[in-house]
Amino acid sequence: MTPTSNLLIMVLMKLKQGISLAAAVVAAATALSSCTATPAATNKVTVTVAAYPLQFLTERIVGANGTVTNLTAPGTEPHDLELTAKQIADMSGTDAVVYIAGFQPAVDEAIGSTPPKLAIDVTQGLTMLKASQDGAAAEEGSNTEANDPHVWLSPSNMATMAKTIDAKLSAANPELASTFEANTNSLISELTALDSSYKTGLSSCSRTQFITSHAAFGYLAHDYGLTQVPISGLDPTEEPTAARIAEVQKLAKQYGVTTIFFETLVSDTVAKSIAGDLGLKAAVLDPIEGITTTSAGTNYLEVMQSNLNALKEANGCS
C-alpha cells in the first residue's frame, strides 16, 4: 500500500470513531510519521512560547533542533490572550514553556493549574520596573504597583532573557547544550550591536520625551535616558480618560514634541486624533507584541531598528 492509501484508511478509521475530519487527518498523519521517524527526531525539543518576543529568542536559540509554538496568534494582541483547553493541554505536553510572569494572566493561570515539564520565566535575572500611575515606568515604586511586563523592548534585557532560556533548555537537553550556546552567543552579539546603535543614535537629541499609545516603552526609556508619555496605561485595550488625553496634549505642547506614536495591533484612533488636534505627525512606534505583514520589519531586530529611526526623527537626534 502507498503512504497515501495508508493515510486515507487511518482517516476513515478515526472518522468512524466519531472524531472530526481535521482531527482525524492530524491523528492519522501523526501516527504514520511516528512509524517512519528517523533517530535524529529524538533530538528535537518542543517549546511553547507565550508571545512573539519569546518566539524570536527561542527560535534563534533552538535553531533546527526544535519546534516553537506561539500561544498568541500572529496579529493578535497578547495582553488579553485567552487560552483554549486544547492549547493548555498541548502546552503541558511540550518540553518547555517560555513566558513572562505577570504579562498574560491566562498564561500565568495555565502554568499554575497545569504545570508544564519545564516553565521558564524570563523575568528571572532582570531588574523589573514598576509602572507609576500615568503608566510611565519608575524604578522601585510602591509594593502594590504591578511590574511593567514589557521587558523585551530593552535589547540588553533580551540578551539576559536569551541566556536564561539557553541555560534552562541546555540543562534539560545536555546533548544539545553546545549548539544552543553557539546559537545564543550569535544572537547576543546581534542584540549587543542593536543596543550600541540605540546608545549612539539617541545620545544627542533635541528632546528626550516621546508620546506613545500605551505604556510599553518603560524599559527602552530607562536604558537610553528617555521619558515616555503614554496615552493609555500598561494595557493597550484600556480607553484613556478625557482628562488623560487633555494632560497628554498639555505635555506635548510643553515638551515641543513633533510626533504622536501609534501601534500596529491596537486602534490608532486616539493617537491620530491627538496628533490632528495639535497639528503634529503621527507615526508608528511598535511595541513588538506581534509581527504582521504591516510590521516595519520581519523580526524583532528589524522592527527595533525601525523604532530607533522613528525615535531619532521624532526627537531631532543628530
- Per the CB < 8 A criterion, the answer to whether 98 and 54 are in contact is yes
Q: Which residue is nearest to Zn ion (CB)?
A: 216
Residue (136 or 216) nearer to Zn ion, CB = 216
Beta bridge partners of 283: 261
Residue (165 or 216) nearer to Zn ion, CB = 216
Residue (90 or 238) nearer to Zn ion, CB = 238
Q: For the chain, how are helix, strand and coil distributed in percent, rounded to 5?
A: 50, 15, 35
Chain-centroid distance of CA 259 in Å reads: 25
In angstroms, give the least distance from the CB of 163 to Zn ion.
23
Number of neighbouring beta carbons within 10 Å of residue 71: 25
In angstroms, give the least distance from the CB of 150 to Zn ion.
5
Dihedral angle, C-alpha 224, 145, 262, 69, nearest 10 °: 90
Residue (175 or 239) nearer to Zn ion, CB = 239
C-alpha cell at 1: 500500500
In angstroms, give the least distance from the CB of 242 to Zn ion.
22
In angstroms, give the least distance from the CB of 287 to Zn ion.
5
Residue (95 or 289) nearer to Zn ion, CB = 289
Work out the end-to-end distance of the chain between its first and last CA atoms, rounded to an integer number of angstroms.
69
Dihedral angle, C-alpha 105, 238, 227, 221, nearest 10 °: 30
Residue (216 or 285) nearer to Zn ion, CB = 216
Residue 289's closest CA among 153, 154, 180? 153
Residue (66 or 290) nearer to Zn ion, CB = 290
3-state secondary structure of 285: coil
In angstroms, give the least distance from the CB of 188 to Zn ion.
24
In angstroms, give the least distance from the CB of 301 to Zn ion.
19
Residues with Cβ within 8 Å of 111's Cβ and at least 6 positions away in sequence, in order, are: 97, 99, 119
Helices and strands (DSSP H and E) totals, the chain: 11, 10
Chain-centroid distance of CA 164 in Å reads: 16
In angstroms, give the least distance from the CB of 289 to Zn ion.
5
> By the criterion CB under 5 A, which residues form the site for Zn ion?
216
